[in-house]
Structures are given as C-alpha cells and as structure tokens.
C-alpha cells in the first residue's frame, strides 16, 4: 500500500473534492473576496478622514487596531459559521443517505473515515481562515503600516476555535441528525458566547460570581474563551492595560491553561467521534 492510497488521505481528498463540486469552495471564495474588498474600501475611507484630522499618533494606532480587531472578529465569526454549516452534515448526511455503506464495507477501519474527513475540513477551513484573517491583516498593513502584535499566535488561536467547533460537529454527526447536530453546536456556541460576556462584565465590576459563571461556561464550551485569548494576543498594549468593553477586545484574558483545556477538549471530541462512529450500526 502506498501513501497516496492511505485511507485517511483518500477521504481527506474526497472531502476537498466534494466541497469543490458542490460549489462550497467557490462560493466561500467569491464572498470572502467581496468581504475583503468592502473591508479595504471602508478602511481607506476611514483612514482618509484620520489623515485629514490627525488625532495624534497614539490614538491613530488605537483606531487602526480597533478596526483590525473588528475585521478579525467578523472573520472569526464567519469561520465558525462556515465550519459548522459545512461539517455538520458530513457524517450524519452520509449515514442518512446510505452512501456510507459502500465506504465502510471496504477494507478500512471506520475511524480512518472520521479522521480523513476531519483533516480535510480542518485543512479547508484553515485555508479559509488564513486567506480571510491574513487578508484583513494584510489590508490594514498595506494601507496604514499597522500590524497587530502577536499576529501568528492570534491566527493560531482562531484556528483552534475553528477546530473546536469542527470536532464537536463531528461528534454530533455520529449520533444526531444533521439538523439536531446543528442546533446542538450553535446551542453550545450560544452558552459560550453569553458566558464570555457575563465574565467580561464580572471582571469589569470585580464580581467573582459572574466571573465564575463565565469560567464554567468556558469549560462547557471553550470557543469564546479561545477567541478572547486570540483577541488579547492581537490587541494593542493600551487596550490590554486599560480594557474597554467590546466584542473585539478582551477585558479578562483567558489563561494559558484554558487554551490547553481547549486543545484537549477538541482532541477528546474528535477521539469520541472516531470511537462512536466505529461502534454504531449503519
């Protein structure tokens, strides 16, 4: 058996081809491009205003940082949505339609199908994130010369958030119908989202109970915590120090331990998906 025919890679390539054949890649690419064009035009317009009435060097930098983080926030949100929308159906859809029967009856281990699909989606969404996130950063840098601090760790954390949702969508896809799986993943996302905000307020008001609610919700679903860590990495030192409440910035940065927890969480979800898919009747 040569490496080209390793089941995992065959399935990963199939995932890419499916996304391409079903126009997912192209539609995402076209609308991503439009997004970047709109963002660039908007940024140029704002910058022109800033150049006309310069608010001082420090403030100028903060405004650029704010607009960059707003762009990255939307990119993070889009990546989340895209990941769930595309991955939520990949296992449950194949199970429901019966296409899985010809796959699973081949000389392969079932977890190889799960891992192959996961890798395919992970690569695809990472590419999307890189083009969109990199695009936003590139636009801001080329036009204004401003670059976010810790851009690469920031993008890496955004990718981790994507992998979290991907792994949960896979786990749900083994046991739930496509629709129920989507409802579950977004339900978890909602818990993380509101928990994150309560934690932000709590941190601002020095209210430990509220902070605890946030921490618990992050343990249930760490996606929002990972985004806030990413935002923390990429925001300016001024915002880091003095804060300010906006979805694009982080008042209390989740710890490195939380990041590690998120990595383990994603790995566990994927492992469970592989295991459960190996056992279920098809």
Partner 1 sequence: MTIPNAIETAHLRKTFGSNVAVSDLTLTVAPGEVFGFLGPNGAGKTTSVKMLLGLIAPTAGEMRLLGASARDHRVRQRVGFLPEHFRFHDWLTASEFLHLHAALYHMPEAAVRQRVPELLELVGLSLHAAQKLRSFSKGMLQRIGLAQALLNEPDLIILDEPTSGLDPVGRRLVRDIIRSLKQRGATVFLNSHLLSEVEITCDRVAFIKHGQVLQISSLQTLVEGELTVQVRAHPLTPQVVAGLSQWSQNARADGDHLTLTLPGEVDLPAINRYLVEQGVDVYALQPQKVSLEDLFIQVVGTDGGL
Range in contact with partner 1 (rule: CB under 8 A) among 51-59, 92-100, 167-175, 205-213? 92-100
3 binds partner 1 (CB under 8 A): no
Query: Interface mask (CB under 8 A) for partner 1, residues 109-128, using x and -?
Result: x-------------------
237 binds partner 1 (CB under 8 A): no
Residue located via tokens 């592989």: 274
Using the rule CB under 8 A, which residue among 14, 63, 85, 147 binds partner 1?
14
Per DSSP, helices labelled H in 7-56 are: 7-21, 24-52
Give the residue with the Cβ less far from partner 1, 20 or 208.
20
Are 169 and 86 contacting, i.e. CB atoms less than 8 angstroms apart?
no
SS (H, E, C) 60-92: HHHHHHHHHHHHHHHHHHHHHHHHHHHHCCHHH
Using the rule CB under 8 A, which residue among 52, 53, 54, 107 binds partner 1?
107
Give the residue with the Cβ less far from partner 1, 110 or 228.
110
Using the rule CB under 8 A, which residue among 30, 44, 106, 216 binds partner 1?
106
Let me know if 191 is exposed, middle or buried by CB neighbors in 10 A (0-12, 13-18, 19+).
middle
Using the rule CB under 8 A, which residue among 103, 119, 191, 238 binds partner 1?
103
Range in contact with partner 1 (rule: CB under 8 A) among 11-19, 40-48, 74-82, 227-235? 11-19
Give the residue with the Cβ less far from partner 1, 150 or 275.
275
Give the residue with the Cβ less far from partner 1, 13 or 150.
13
Query: Interface mask (CB under 8 A) for partner 1, residues 22-51, using x and -?
Result: x-----------------------------
Scanning residues 154 to 183, which ones bind partner 1 (CB under 8 A)?
Answer: none
208 binds partner 1 (CB under 8 A): no
Give the separation between CA 81 and CA 77, rounded to whole angstroms: 6
Query: Three-state DSSP class for 235?
Result: coil
List Cβ neighbours of 43 (8 Å cut-off, separation of 6 or more). Answer: 67, 139, 140, 143, 144
Q: What is the dihedral of CA 75, 153, 259, 179, to 10 degrees?
A: 30
Residue 85 burial (CB count, 10 A): 14
209 binds partner 1 (CB under 8 A): no
Which of 256, 190, 257, 201 lies closest to 224, judged by CA?
190
What radius of gyration do the chain's Cα atoms show? 21
Residue ranges in contact with partner 1 by CB under 8 A: 1-2, 4-5, 7, 10, 14, 17-18, 21-22, 97-99, 101-109, 279, 281-282
């Amino acid at each position: 058996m040569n490496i080209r025919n390793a089941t995992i890679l065959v399935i990963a390539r199939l995932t890419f081809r499916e996304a391409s054949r079903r126009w997912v890649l192209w539609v995402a690419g076209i609308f991503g491009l439009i997004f970047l064009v709109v963002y660039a035009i908007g940024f140029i317009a704002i910058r022109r205003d800033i150049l006309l009435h310069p608010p001082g060097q420090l403030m100028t930098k903060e405004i650029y940082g704010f607009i960059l983080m707003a762009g990255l926030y939307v990119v993070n949100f889009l990546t989340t949505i895209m990941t769930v929308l595309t991955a939520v159906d990949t296992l449950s859809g194949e199970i429901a339609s019966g296409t899985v029967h010809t796959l699973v009856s081949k000389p392969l281990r079932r977890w190889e199908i799960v891992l192959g699909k996961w890798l395919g989606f992970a690569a695809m969404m990472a590419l999307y994130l890189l083009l969109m996130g990199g695009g936003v950063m590139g636009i801001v840098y080329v036009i204004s010369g401003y670059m976010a601090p810790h851009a690469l760790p920031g993008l890496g954390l955004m990718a981790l958030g994507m992998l979290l949702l991907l792994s949960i969508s896979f786990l749900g896809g083994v046991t739930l119908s496509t629709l129920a799986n989507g409802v579950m993943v977004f339900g978890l996302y909602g818990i993380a989202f509101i928990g994150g905000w309560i934690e932000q307020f709590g941190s601002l008001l020095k209210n430990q109970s509220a902070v605890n609610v946030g921490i618990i919700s992050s343990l249930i679903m760490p996606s929002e915590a990972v985004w806030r860590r990413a935002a923390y990495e990429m925001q300016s030192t001024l915002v880091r120090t003095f804060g300010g409440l906006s979805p694009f910035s982080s008042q209390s940065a989740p710890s490195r331990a939380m990041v590690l927890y998120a990595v383990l969480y994603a790995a566990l979800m994927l492992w469970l998906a592989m295991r459960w898919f190996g056992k279920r009747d098809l």
